Structure 1
Amino acid sequence: MTEPTSPFQIAAFRRIWLSRFCAVVATTGMVVILGYQIYDVARSDYAMSIVDASFLLGLLGLAQFVPYALLSPVSGVFADQFDRRRIALFATLLDLLIAGALTYVTAIGTHSLPVLFALAAAHGAARVFLGPSLSAMVPNVVPAPLMPRAIAISSTAWQFGSLIGPTVAGLLFAVLAWSPHALATVLLGLSAVSLLTIGPVPQAASDRETHPIRQYIEGFRFLRRNRFLLGCVTLDLFAVLMGGATALLPVFARDILHVGSEGLGLMRAMPGAGAAVVAFILSWKPIEREVGTKMLVGVGAYGLATVGFGLSTNFVFSLGCLAALGAADMVSVYIRSALEQLSTPDEMRGRVGAISGLFISASNELGEMQSGTVAALLHSAVAAVVFGGVGAILVTVAWAFIFPELKNARTFAPQYREKEQAP
């Protein structure tokens, strides 16, 4: 049989991609509208000030991160010990129920702050099981030579989904408040059907005799021994932690740029648009040389674009900054994902993926918490975003010195990684 020359020639990969795409369109739209609802309910029904309502957006990030952090060890071990397809299906169906609940409470007008926060926390719990399982499945169905391209193509599912989901959700919310959540429910159903049609996926046997906590610790040890991979993950963690501007987008949409939920949808979609363009380019021409330097430049550009967005008072320029932000971030995501998948043994991919997912969640959700808190302390959402962007730039400079392996890395070559892991 002829060897595939593209990941899309593999039926299982196509179904994984479709499942991820539907889930991303659904959940990104759902979460964006959830943030807008919390901010709008706080301002309208609870008569909160802009500062206090902004702080609630930070708490929204924390509400999603706490269950992710608590369940991350379990999800990683499960992804190594059990059928990854079934775990991903379970998480997708759980998110489907959450989307259905949001549709119901929005339609009947009972979406109080406690209800919205509870559903946000439930979404965080569902998401912790989906990421490691789906990511770990890709190397099980795609040959190693095609993995860099498969990672870039997988990223397009996320980035195009992040572009479409918030845009459509924002427009639908302006017409009928419950309709974005109803659409999310349907799309998550399609995602589940796609997973069901994949069939059994082969994966390496995992050690079931060792205690799960010990297995999770082994994943941390593996990450610690790989200096390049550790530098990549922690750079992304602290840079995005500082530059979490997206949490405050409802503030900019409602009270600074005055563009409403429709504008919020476009603003939330722009990082995905910029990242989608870069992901498409990388799927055609993957990065092969000077990977470390390119990642550092990308993260620095991410911080600079964040500063530009914070200072902007023009809606079109703000959209451009957000697109640039997403494009720069995609470079870091691509390099980190390629290293993680190519340098991790299959029997440990679930655990390492869960740890990486925990770091990503920490950078995103705790970054939202940081932005909301700084906005409250400084009494300014603009100052909070600018502060975060400058912080991301400073982190990039610091990591170039703390982890010289990053700027010295030339390729993804296995012999380089083996050298780094040697005692």
Structure 2
Amino acid sequence: MLEWPSHESQTRVFWRSCTRAPPHRRRCLSDSSGDPAVPPRHDPLAALRQVSFLLYTSSRGLSVVGLTSLNAVIAWQVYEISGSALNLGLLGLAQFIPALSVSLIGGATADTYNRRNIILIAQCVPLTCASILCVATLGDWVRLELIYGLVLFIGMANAFEAPARAALLPAIVRPETFANAVTVSSTIQSFCAVSGPALAGGIIALAGVGAGFLAYICFALSSMLVLSFLKVRAANSGGGKVSLAMVREGIRFVRSQQVILGAMSLDMFAVVFGGATALLPVYASDILEVGPAGYGILQGSFYGGAFLTSLFLVFRPAIDRTGRALLIAVALFSIATIAFGLSRDFYLSLAIYVVIGALDRVSVVMRQTTIQLATPDELRGRVSAVNQSFIGASNQIGAMESGFVAALTSATFAVVSGGAAALAVTGLIRTRLPLLYNYRVSTAVGSMRQPVTSIAAVPPQEQPASSSP
């Protein structure tokens, strides 16, 4: 197996190049003018110049293509079998239960053991479940009960994989390129996610649901192969084993940091009320009447808008007022959701869903950058797990809420009322959490270089990071 330079050796080489070069050639921390007072020139490809990041993000991209296609195939199959929006909501319930119950344990595991190995082991679970569903579909003995049971296991595996992946990224890139790595990773993820749902819709239309499961199996195996070449060290938890005390420490840290808690809460409630993804099969089949191909295009348009926005964020300097940007993006996301719910024209709906995907990506990048920069490495797995619990709760409860409300009223009422509720929640958080609105990334960048061994070393946030508008 190939041996790649470790993160520590890369960092040592970088700083030697900075300190040993003649003064007129020291450009590591300044722009090409050589003046240290001038901010460094923005390099949109800084993260991609590191081999470890290339392996990480290539594996992640293959995984995202596979998982987004798998989710689309499963949702279509459930609606095809049952014809019920309520059963689509139950899919969210099947994924939310394990995310809520074991995600915090997954975070503590990521802070204790080798994060790459955790990801590889976790990926074996959806691979096995997709294989079973493929055989059951081709053999014509698939049932809703089987789908829900396997989806539950997929959700449980994701509760371990997600915090490990999130906590792994800061450990494989140089600290000064981390903010760029978050945006670049998000961009590549969005690009890969564009093809997943569209690919699923095309495969279903041409070869059936069983072929969609076969496609996921190929992507999952490729992702695991690429990730196996990444060399990382085990997390340094200091305890050697997962414990309940570790879980409690992570929760206490999140509760003590109002900006982190506010960012997580805003995203959770906005998606719970404002998400329309769970009802896309209903819109594609019954309202817009565009069939499986149109369903795949609608799914892909969301990720297309997300990708274009991520690309824009990569090539522009980092946003400092991430809290304000997050609030504005979520408010516009809510308004666009209302417009999508009211639309009856496929092309208008497609354009609106592109905008929804773009605004969602702004929210994701702002939230991820804020949370990761504000968290010491010793706690990243557990904080990522708490964040994953919020994300899982928003996505899955949102799917349940949409399905239940649509079953009681209509799909249109579910989407429109949800967007209005998300807009109201955004206004409430803006009013009640001024710390989030006033947050600046520049006040917290230094925390990445300050290792913390106890939550007591990080003071709770009691005053706004900045009172200026």
Cα deviation for residue 161 of structure 1 reads: 2.3
From 351, 355, 363, the equivalent of 1:332 is 363
Cα deviation for residue 203 of structure 1 reads: 5.1
Quick one: distance in 1 between partners of 2:317 and 2:243? 36
TM-score with structure 1 setting the length: 0.93
Q: Which residue of 1 aligns with 2:311?
A: 280
- In structure 2, the CA distance between the partners of 1:221 and 1:419, relative to structure 1 (3 Å rule), is closer
Q: Which moved more, 1:205-214 or 1:356-365?
A: 205-214
Matches within 5 A, 1:22-37: 22-37=62-77
Residue 150 of structure 2 aligns with an amino acid whose one-letter code is L
Identify unmatched segments of 5+ residues in structure 1: 44-52
Cα deviation for residue 211 of structure 1 reads: 6.3
C-alpha deviations, 1:145-197, integer Å up to 9, x for none?
11111001111232122211000110001111111110110100001001111
Matches within 5 A, 1:339-350: 339-350=370-381
Larger radius of gyration: 2
Identify unmatched segments of 5+ residues in structure 2: 1-12, 18-27, 29-42, 448-457, 464-469
C-alpha deviations, 1:90-112, integer Å up to 9, x for none?
11122211222222112112221
Residue 255 of structure 2 aligns with an amino acid whose one-letter code is R
Q: Which residue of 1 aligns with 2:263?
A: 232
Cα deviation for residue 7 of structure 1 reads: 0.9
Quick one: distance in 1 between partners of 2:105 and 2:235? 18
Is the helix fraction higher in 1 or 2?
1
Cα deviation for residue 210 of structure 1 reads: 7.9
- In structure 2, the CA distance between the partners of 1:30 and 1:279, relative to structure 1 (3 Å rule), is same
Work out whether residues 374 and 445 of structure 2, in 8 Å CA contact, stay in contact via their aligned partners in 1.
no
Quick one: distance in 2 between partners of 1:409 and 1:59? 37
Q: Root-mean-square deviation (CA), in Å? A: 1.9
Q: Which moved more, 1:246-255 or 1:406-415?
A: 406-415
C-alpha deviations, 1:288-308, integer Å up to 9, x for none?
233222111100011111111
SS at match of 1:180: helix
- In structure 2, the CA distance between the partners of 1:339 and 1:289, relative to structure 1 (3 Å rule), is closer
The question of 1:311 aligning with 2:351 is answered: no
Quick one: distance in 1 between partners of 2:236 and 2:441? 30
Work out whether residues 152 and 279 of structure 1, in 8 Å CA contact, stay in contact via their aligned partners in 2.
yes
Q: Which residue of 2 aligns with 1:63?
A: 94
The question of 1:267 aligning with 2:298 is answered: yes
SS at match of 2:116: helix
- In structure 2, the CA distance between the partners of 1:92 and 1:204, relative to structure 1 (3 Å rule), is closer
What number of residue pairs does the alignment pair up?
Answer: 412
The question of 1:176 aligning with 2:207 is answered: yes
Work out whether residues 104 and 247 of structure 2, in 8 Å CA contact, stay in contact via their aligned partners in 1.
yes
The question of 1:15 aligning with 2:55 is answered: yes
The question of 1:192 aligning with 2:224 is answered: yes
Work out whether residues 406 and 413 of structure 2, in 8 Å CA contact, stay in contact via their aligned partners in 1.
yes
C-alpha deviations, 1:317-345, integer Å up to 9, x for none?
11111111111111111111011111111
The question of 1:382 aligning with 2:382 is answered: no
Q: Which residue of 2 aligns with 1:47?
A: none
SS at match of 1:206: coil
Quick one: distance in 1 between partners of 2:342 and 2:107? 40
Work out whether residues 108 and 242 of structure 2, in 8 Å CA contact, stay in contact via their aligned partners in 1.
no
Work out whether residues 323 and 436 of structure 2, in 8 Å CA contact, stay in contact via their aligned partners in 1.
yes
From 101, 113, 121, the equivalent of 1:82 is 113
Quick one: distance in 2 between partners of 1:117 and 1:273? 29
The question of 1:243 aligning with 2:283 is answered: no
* % identical aligned pairs: 35
Work out whether residues 274 and 421 of structure 2, in 8 Å CA contact, stay in contact via their aligned partners in 1.
yes
